[in-house]
Chain A
């Protein structure tokens, strides 16, 4: 893959764009998490009675892992989550290549486990020429428009 052409400052996503995209993703994951974690047990209760512990536990695990799976798959496959699609941005490596599965998984894990730090790190977009957040510098990524 050929390296991407040098991009202007405005070709990278800034603080507001990232927060809007993140807000959309959080909203979607909240709804999806409630559905995945609650619907199986509710359906079991309607049909068979009290849901077994293994079902409740499995649904909880899937609901917990759902955000990590979602971000990992989205960044690895297209570089875009649903929120990123709405605001028109894409997460890629600094040289323009797509993220590997390991880089995507690690970036998602750090973002979910250290969410407050992730949010504070977005301040880095205000001073960087390529609008990179702290986690972008850590994982060698940029968030570009288009």
Chain B
């Protein structure tokens, strides 16, 4: 089992902002602006790191001399020596790249924030079920049973007696299914009794005749 990667606080914060904006119904245009700003910030951070590295290289060049300095100068990336501004096309491409980068960052942050929230909510619910809910129930049930429920019953029972029960009884009395059930049960009881009487008398007939034949002998005419 692999240990899940620790989420970045920055991405979590961005993801939380995205989730909040979704809940608040923020316009798509605003979200695109946020993505662009995020991408630009990421680019700026990357550029700052590269500038620091370049500065370190320049300091090294100054302290070196001759062929060694020429050798180190060739190692400096050409891209770092390009001019910063080369026209509108460069700016447009840079903005598009920044927006894509920002969108990717926001999506990743949103996913991390969602997973973080879900995990924490599940943990919180489980903790509450194990620690909080039993205590609340244990403390609440006696109060409900001793004080609340009797008052509710006392207040509701007269209404049930005067208004609900007559309606229920009336419905049951007029329901043809209930009447059929009662009639069917009555028939069943009577049928069972009659069947027992018939079986019993038939057996008694045979026994009486057998006894008479044993006493007086002879057969049937």
Select from chain A the residue with minimum beta-carbon distance to B193.
Answer: A86
CA distance A87 to B208 in the complex (A): 17
30 residue pairs bridging A and B, Cβ less than 8 Å apart: A9-B220, A10-B202, A10-B205, A10-B206, A14-B204, A14-B205, A14-B206, A15-B208, A16-B208, A17-B201, A17-B202, A17-B205, A20-B197, A86-B194, A87-B198, A87-B201, A88-B194, A88-B197, A126-B208, A126-B209, A126-B212, A127-B212, A127-B220, A127-B221, A128-B221, A129-B220, A129-B221, A131-B205, A145-B198, A145-B202
8 Å CB interface, B8-36 against A: none
Closest chain-A Cβ to B187's Cβ sits at a distance in Å of 13
Q: How far apart are the CA atoms of A126 and B213 in the complex, in Å?
A: 9
Q: Is A76 interfacial (CB 8 A cutoff)?
A: no
**Chain B nearest CB, measured from A35 CB (Å):** 23
Which residues between 89 and 146 of chain A lie within 8 Å of chain B, taking CB atoms?
A: 126-129, 131, 145
Question: Is the CB of A13 closer than 8 A to any CB of chain B?
Answer: yes
Which 3 pairs, one residue from A and one from B, show the smallest C-beta to C-beta distance? A14-B205, A16-B204, A17-B201
CB-defined contacts of A13 to chain B, threshold 8 Å = 205
Distance of B196 from chain A, by nearest CB (Å): 11
Give the distance to chain A from B173, nearest Cβ to Cβ, in Å.
29
Task: Mark out the residues of chain B between 152 and 200 whose CB falls within 8 Å of any chain A CB in the assembled complex.
Answer: 194, 197-198
Spell out B's residues near A (CB within 8 Å).
194, 197-198, 201-202, 204-206, 208-209, 212, 218, 220-221
Q: Which of A9, A14, A85, A87 has the most CB of B within 10 A?
A: A14
B204 contact set on A, CB distance < 8 A:
14, 16-17
Q: Which residues from B are CB-within-8-Å of A129?
A: 220-221
- Residues of A1-41 whose CB lies within 8 A of B: 9-10, 13-17, 20
Number of A interface residues, CB 8 Å? Answer: 18
Residue of B nearest to A131 (CB): B205
A13 to B197, CA, bound (A): 13
A87 cross-chain contacts in B, Cβ below 8 A: 197-198, 201
Q: Could you tell me the distance in whole angstroms from the C-beta of A11 to the nearest C-beta in chain B? A: 10
Cα distance, A85 to B202, chains bound together (Å)? 14
A109, B204: Cα distance in complex, Å:
29
Q: Which residues of A contact B220 (CB under 8 A)?
A: 9, 127-129
How far is B105's CA from A55's CA once the two chains are assembled, in angstroms?
112
Could you tell me if B209 and A88 are in contact, using CB atoms closer than 8 angstroms? no
How many angstroms from the CA of A10 to the CA of B206 in the assembled complex?
Answer: 8
Supply 14 further A-B pairs (C-beta < 8 A) apart from A9-B220, A127-B220, A145-B202: A16-B205, A17-B198, A17-B202, A17-B205, A85-B194, A126-B208, A127-B212, A127-B218, A127-B221, A128-B221, A129-B220, A129-B221, A131-B205, A145-B198
Q: How many whole Å from B185's CB to the nearest CB in chain A?
A: 19
CB distance from A125 to the nearest CB of B (A): 8
Note all chain A residues with C-beta closer than 8 A to B208. Answer: 14-16, 126
- Distance of A19 Cα from B74 Cα, bound (Å): 134
How far is A86 from B190 in the complex, measured between Cα atoms in Å?
9
Output the nearest chain B residue to A15 by Cβ-Cβ distance. Answer: B208
Q: Cβ of A131: which chain B residues have Cβ within 8 Å of it?
A: 205
